[in-house]
Structure formats: structure tokens, C-alpha cells
Amino acid sequence: MASFSSQIQNPIMKYILVTGGVISGIGKGVIASSVGTILKHCGLRVTSIKIDPYINIDAGTFSPYEHGEVFVLDDGGEVDLDLGNYERFLDVTLHRDNNITTGKIYQSVINKERRGDYLGKTVQVVPHITDAIQEWVETVAHRPVDGDHADPEVCIIELGGTIGDIEGMPFVEAFRQFQFRVKRENICVVHVSLVPQPSSTGEHKTKPTQASVRELRGLGLSPDFIVCRSEKPIDQSVKHKISNFCHVSPEQVICLHDASSIYAVPLMLEEQQVSHLLSDRLSLNLNTHRPRNFMKKWRDLSTKHEHLRYSVTIVLVGKYTQLEDSYASVIKALQHAALACNRKLELKCMEAEDLEEEAKANRPVKYYEAWQNVCKANGIIVPGGFGQRGMEGKVAVCKWARTMKKPLLGVCLGLQAAVIEYSRNVLGWADANSQEMSPEGTRHVIVEMPEHNPGQLGGTMRLGKRQTVFKSHDSKLRQLYGNVDYVEERHRHRFEVNPKFVADLEAAGMKFVGHDVDGERMEIMELADHPYYVACQYHPEYLTRPLKPSPPYLGLILASSGKLEQYLSRGCRMSPTDSPESSDEELPMPPHLLVHQTDKPSMSPASRTTPPPTLQEMPTSALNSTPSPAEKGDLEESKQSL
């Protein structure tokens, strides 16, 4: 990326604080990431910090229904999912300290008090807690995140929750003091507020935003910019009204209505001159001239997303499907891969419990609907999770995908489900199970890791970036990674394949093509006689990027689109095209060679979905394709039941 920032260096750190008003969940994370993306395209080095006011030390012990998925960093930090947005938008590598929680701050202060660092003084919220927050922010803001060991120049700080929450008061007070600590010219406040449009009146209402800004100013922070979130575009009269009542100029009121994709958000911000406004406010000394190709990759990405003609349907078989954010990174990885393959992602989230035999008796409608969606899909993903609930549904869908030659990607628990299914139905070990699901079982093909402490859940898993070494050249996933000898991916698990049974599984046809550096842990599994039956113990979705999709997810989308063999036969290179009007479809470059692609929509007939199977074909029709001897008894019984 070419830099066009001024030759004048910015030795003083600049801070952008993003706060929220009216309601939570209105896109502060995406807006903060988008602002950072704009500044990075201006040639500045950007880092980010997410503040979560809850008392938990980190997000590691949260249920996915609390705050969505737990995002894992290279250093093993279990953090809020917004840090995943920052990494994907800014293409940086953050650290566990980039996620600040009330628990971390209080733990730090209490540890100092126990050591006697406060020399017998009374420890209070002000000044000790607020000082600790400011010191933490200043320290982390200067930590390199780009891999070039250069200090960042701009730090974007997102304060979670909404202004007025009692949990966030110490942080608001800390930043009131912080603006004097770093000087007012080096920090600006961006306040994100909802501007509702009641259906009864049809007009946008500004009173909630006025009240939110008034409360923020009453706490000592005056917003420099107000980002107005709305469902539909806001007209100029509403913008001027907010300007008048909230003590900012009309140019400082930024309007963001719902967009077709998050890739459009940086473009919408820049259309309203955000980079110029920030440059003036923080004295960033940016060149006022914008080159023609400024943010071109984002424009191309947004345009491409809006003009996809063909779709690919993927079924996600999970345990937490009631909240989409539970699988935020998985969904982003699928979207990035689909976009690289010129496909619109049609995602169907299925509760694993609805695929179990018990659901057939208790919830027959959901049971048949779930299996119908599975049978209609072009591909299947079985993501990670914990606990027994829904495990048999995951095992059942793995069996269906294997016997019906349907592309499948298993991640973490998905790999374990595939191993259990293969052990039961190919090796004939009916009692095969996981130690997590059946502690008293007789044949644990999945066992607990020796370093796991069952009495302490937080931070005791195998976490962070680890190296996986390929053991075979005959591997689809190795080709997708660019035929490298090893890969480094992030992990988050407590259980793994039992090494005692690996030889039997491989003799039966299940190949573990990737191991850890010691050769003891099974990291990647593939079936050779299958279009794409791949599973990995690590979580490849944590390292996906909009223009650099995760290879396992890319393989799933390619296989589901009927393009994987063509892609691999060309050395993981896209087909040549002579002009945008060419009917030949482009295929994505491998991640290690990825460059900007054109926006030409794909026209391949292979992308068209086949007619869906009838209800009578589900799920027992899957078993009709050369079942193993151990499966034949179940086959006849299932046919009769349907």
C-alpha cells in the first residue's frame, strides 16, 4: 500500500476514543475498525484497544450467548469478538492487553496493593483505578502490531457499552483526565448514537442522540464527531438539527445508514471526508490530495459483493445458532472465501440437536426441516464447541457428508465428531466416544490433554498460535496452503485425538496429514476418496482476511462450487481472462500469492445447485452409497422407520 502521508513525522501518539449512546450493539466496533482502515490507507500505523467494562478477567469463560464468540489471539489471549474485526479490517496482530476489562484493571491494582506499592495509602477508584486505566492505555498504544516493530501513530479505543452504564463510569472518568494527560489536541472523541425512525411518524428522531450527548458532556467528555446510525439515510435537516443541539458543526455529524455489507462502511465514512476531518482535528499532517486509487481494494470489494450472480449454500451445524455472533469469525471466513470464489454465500444455521434421532420423535418438523436443509446444501461446516449437547447431531451429519461425498469442513469439535463417526461406522467401534462426552466410556478416541487442569476453566486450554507440520504431500489442504512444510494457526481446545488409535484410523483410510511439531497431536485430517472431507483441530477462521481467505474455508467453498479440482490442477491459480466480458470464470489465488482481482461475476454452470432431494431421501438416502459393513444394520432399520 502506497503511503501518501506528509513527510513530517508524528512522534506524538494520537488517540481516537469511540463511545456509544442510546443502545449497545449499533456498530461501534465496525465504525472504529473502518476509521482505522481509512487512516491506514493514508499511510499511518494504526493500533486499537477494546474496553469491556465487565468484571471478568477475560472472555474465556463466557457462554457464546453472552457476548458472541470468544476470539483468540496469537499470544493465546481470549478476547472480545470486536478485536477480530480490528484484525481483519486493519490486518494487524493484536495482543491480549489490547482488550481491557474491569477485572484486569482491578486485579492489577489489587496486586499492587498487596505488594505494598501504594505505601499504605487508601486505594480508591479515583485516582488509583483511573490512573491504572490511563497507564494501561498509554503502554499498549505504543506496542507494535504490524510485524515491522514500528510504533503505531494512532490508537483507536472503543469503550464498550453505552454512556451512562454504571460499569463504565471509571473508564469515562479516566478518559476525562486522560485528555489533559496527553493534551486535548492529541485526542478526539467519536460518539456513535442511534437515530430511530418510528414507523408511526416516519421521521427520524434526534432526542435520544441529544440526551446521550448531553450526558457525555456532563461527564466531562465533549464529542468532536457524532456518528448517527440509522436504518435509512438521514436528510440534511436532521443532520443540522443534531449539529445545533449537540454543539458540533454540520460537517462533524457523520451519517451512517444500514449498508449492504460492512465493506461499504469505510467508503461511506470517507465520502463524508472523515480522513480530512480527523487530520484537521488531530494535526495528522495528511496530504489533502487523494490519489485516484485511494482505498481501491475496498471499493472493489464492496462492488464485487453487490454484483455476485451465483450463490453457494453452506449449512453450519452448531450448538449456539440462536445468536449469529456466536460464530462471527466462522461466518466471516465463509464470506471471505465465497467472495474470493465469486459466490454469494447463502448460509443456513442448523441446531445440531435437531439432527439427532431423539428430535425425530420429539420435534419431527424441526428434524425433517433440518435434514432437508442439509441435503439441499452444497457444503457443510461443523464448527467448534464444548459439551455433550448436540454432539450426536454433529456425528450424524459427518456420517451423511462422508457417505454422500458432500464437501465438509470440521473445525476443532468438528474434527472430533468426524473421528468418532469414522470409528463407529467404518472401524465398527460402536462404543467409540469422547472423554468429554462420556467420561465413563470404554473406548475414548478423543481424550483430554494432559496439561488441562479440570478444576480451573479460565485460560487452561491449548491456546494461541501453534505450528502444524504437514506429514504428507498428498493433501488437498497442503496444496491450498501453497505446498508449504508447515502452517501456524490459532488453537482453542481441551481435547484431542487419542494417539493410541491413530494407526487403526489411518489403516482404515482416515489420514492425519498434519501433526504438531512433536508429532504427537493430530492437527489435520483428510479422506482421500472424497471431494473434500477435511477437518482441523485448530481454528483457521481466526486468521481470515477479506482479501486473504483462510485456506480450509476456501477449499470448502471451491469444493461446494464444483471448482476445487480445477483450482488445484492449475497450481492454485485463477484462470486467465482476456477481458471483463470473458465468460471464463476467475478462480482465487492461493493466500500466499493473493493479489487484487477483478470484479467480473462468475458464469459457471457448475455453481448452479441441483434439485433438492425429496423428504424420503433424507437422511437415509445418504446411507445408500456403499456403506461399510458396520453400517448395514443401521441402514435397514433407518429405512423402515422412514
Q: According to the 3-state scheme, what is the secondary structure of 32-69? A: HHHHHHHHHHCCCCEEEEEEECCCCCCCCCCCHHHHCC
User: H or E element: which one contains 420?
Assistant: helix 413-425
Q: Which of 173, 489, 541, 585 is catalytic?
A: 541
pLDDT for position 582: 33
Q: Is 579 strand, coil or helix?
A: coil
How remote is the C-alpha of 74 from its chain's centroid? 14
pLDDT given at position 302: 87
d(C-alpha 221, C-alpha 253), whole Å: 17
Decide if 412 is catalytic: yes
Known active-site residue 369: no
Clarify whether 539 is annotated catalytic.
yes
> For the packed helices 82-90 and 328-340, what is the interaxial angle rounded to 10 degrees?
30
Average pLDDT across each block of 10 residues of the chain; the chain has 642 residues. List them in order: 40 92 88 94 93 90 83 92 92 94 95 90 94 96 88 95 92 96 95 91 90 94 95 92 93 92 91 93 86 84 87 93 89 94 92 91 91 94 88 93 95 93 92 87 84 54 90 91 93 90 92 90 92 94 93 95 89 52 42 39 37 43 43 44 38
DSSP state of 340: H
pTM of structure: 0.84
Q: How far is CA 376 from CA 317, 371, 392, 400, in A?
A: 14, 9, 21, 12
Rounded Cα distance between 224 and 274, Å, is 12
What is the C-alpha to C-alpha distance for residues 250 and 243, in angstroms, rounded to an integer?
5
| Structural contact between residues 216 and 247, judged by C-beta atoms closer than 8 angstroms | no
Give the single-character DSSP code of 125: I
**Which member of 153, 539, 572, 586 is catalytic?**
539
| Under 8 Å between Cβ of 622 and 400 | yes
Contact 1, 41 (CB under 8 A): yes
d(CA 188, CA 27): 19
Task: Report the side by side order of strands in the sheet with 432-434.
Answer: 432-434, 443-448, 495-497
* Cα separation, 84 vs 73, whole angstroms: 9
Distances (CA, A) of 384 to 224, 327, 493, 538, 550: 42, 9, 9, 9, 16
Q: Residue 581 has what pLDDT?
A: 31
Say if CB 53 and CB 167 are below 8 A apart: yes
Residue 611: its pLDDT value, please? 41
The domains found in the chain, sorted by start residue, are: 14-48+125-302 (3.40.50.300), 308-575 (3.40.50.880)
Question: Which residue in 188, 255, 349, 412 is the catalytic one?
Answer: 412
Nearest Cα neighbor of 590 from 618, 570, 606 is 570
